[in-house]
Structure 1
Amino acid sequence: MKLDETQDLNSFSCGLDDMDDFLKNDAFDQQSKNLNVTYLAKYQDDIVGFFSLLSDIIKLKDIECEYDFPYGTCPAIKIGRFAVNEKYNSLGLGTVLLDNVCYQIKRISDIVGVRFITVDAYCNVRDFYYKNEFNHLKVQKENKLRRASKRNPNLTIPLYKDLKRI
């Protein structure tokens, strides 16, 4: 369900202050400015998770050279924020929710030209996206990422998924 100002967000916590703060303090304001749209996944009255979507582009020079497009960029939809309530961790709901998001974006691509899904993933959750078939936008060295993420847990890495592979 789309976020609106009547929803009580106080009970939601994913365990990351940055994500919780976005949902509770910034999401509706940004949505009202048409910067992104935030959706809540609910079970009964509980917010199980949320995600925000916004438009994006992908520079083809930043991905592997398997695409033969006559353009330098291609349209994308970015998952700006994505989190699962920590009460529901380890139940596989993150994958279910992400699959649903990807399916919804694929449906959008039947209406508006969009080829890729992008996300700037926190380094400490990159394995979740790898398991869900996201790839690095730019070639990254795993050792370098591991060291950088220990120094800065809020470091993000750009990832993408091709809608034609869904």
Structure 2
Amino acid sequence: MEIENIKNNYYIVKLNQKHELNNFSCGLNDMDDFLKNDALSQQEEKLNVTYLAMYDKEIIGFFSLLSDIIKLKDIEQDYDLPYSTCPAIKIGRFAVNEKYNSSGLGTVLLDNVCYQIKKISEIHGVRFITVDAYCNVRGFYYRNKFNHFKIHNENKLMRAATRNPNLTIPLYKDLKRI
């Protein structure tokens, strides 16, 4: 099956000005617009770094990484750490080509991103991975072992998400539990 071949043979490259981005669509205008219009300039400004997941010459997905910090008082679990904050790497953007939706490719790519961040944590102090997930895809992150920050009123959050599809919810994953 083609998708299994893609899952086993894709590769990751750093975005540069030579990449042809016009044929990529994840189905979310905001994400597509970021990749095509903002990613490279933000990368040049050292705000984040965007990587393309490629198979052959096709962009099958992309993600952006940037530094972050997590306030321990804002997460559900208790940590016996003598700090109020811990370093994190944020997955600023993460998308899969819409033609591969529901194929399992997103989970494969996310696992790879988390594995790469875990490798970074071995040479640079990082304890958590964070992501601001669109409310309508938070289930994907929950299935991939991300936890939500403290939610004081979940019903209010869900009503707001219904009114605004671009509303995001902050999630995290502890690298020591991977």
Same fold (TM over 0.5): yes
Q: State the match for 2:91 in structure 1.
A: 79
The amino acid that maps onto 2:75 is: I
Checking the alignment, whether the CA contact within 8 Å between 1:58 and 1:76 is kept in structure 2 is yes
CA distance in 2, matches of 1:17, 1:148: 20
**Which of 40, 49, 61 is the equivalent residue of 2:52?**
40
Q: State the match for 2:126 in structure 1.
A: 114
| CA offsets 1:108-160 (integer angstroms, 9 cap, x no match) | 00000000000000000000000001111122544333322110000001000
Say what the alpha-carbon RMSD is for the aligned residues: 1.0
Q: State the match for 1:13 in structure 2.
A: 25
Shift of 1:102: 0.2
Checking the alignment, whether the CA contact within 8 Å between 2:65 and 2:92 is kept in structure 1 is yes
Shift of 1:87: 1.1
Unaligned runs of 5+ in 2: 1-12
| CA offsets 1:44-90 (integer angstroms, 9 cap, x no match) | 11100000000000001101242011111000000000000001111
Checking the alignment, whether the CA contact within 8 Å between 1:36 and 1:54 is kept in structure 2 is yes
CA distance in 2, matches of 1:25, 1:108: 28
Structure 1 residues 159 and 140, CA gap change in structure 2 (3 angstroms): farther
Checking the alignment, whether the CA contact within 8 Å between 1:138 and 1:158 is kept in structure 2 is no
The amino acid that maps onto 2:103 is: L
Q: State the match for 1:162 in structure 2.
A: 174
Q: State the match for 2:143 in structure 1.
A: 131
Percent of pairs with identical residues? 78
Unaligned runs of 5+ in 1: none
The amino acid that maps onto 2:143 is: K
- Which contiguous aligned blocks of 4+ residues in structure 1 show a shift greater than 6 angstroms? none
Checking the alignment, whether the CA contact within 8 Å between 2:31 and 2:93 is kept in structure 1 is yes
Task: Give 3-state SS (helix, strand or coil) of 1:108's partner.
Answer: helix
Q: Aligned residue pairs: how many?
A: 166
Residues 1:148 and 2:160 aligned together? yes
Q: State the match for 1:27 in structure 2.
A: 39
CA distance in 1, matches of 2:70, 2:51: 23
Task: Give 3-state SS (helix, strand or coil) of 2:14's partner.
Answer: coil
Checking the alignment, whether the CA contact within 8 Å between 1:53 and 1:81 is kept in structure 2 is yes
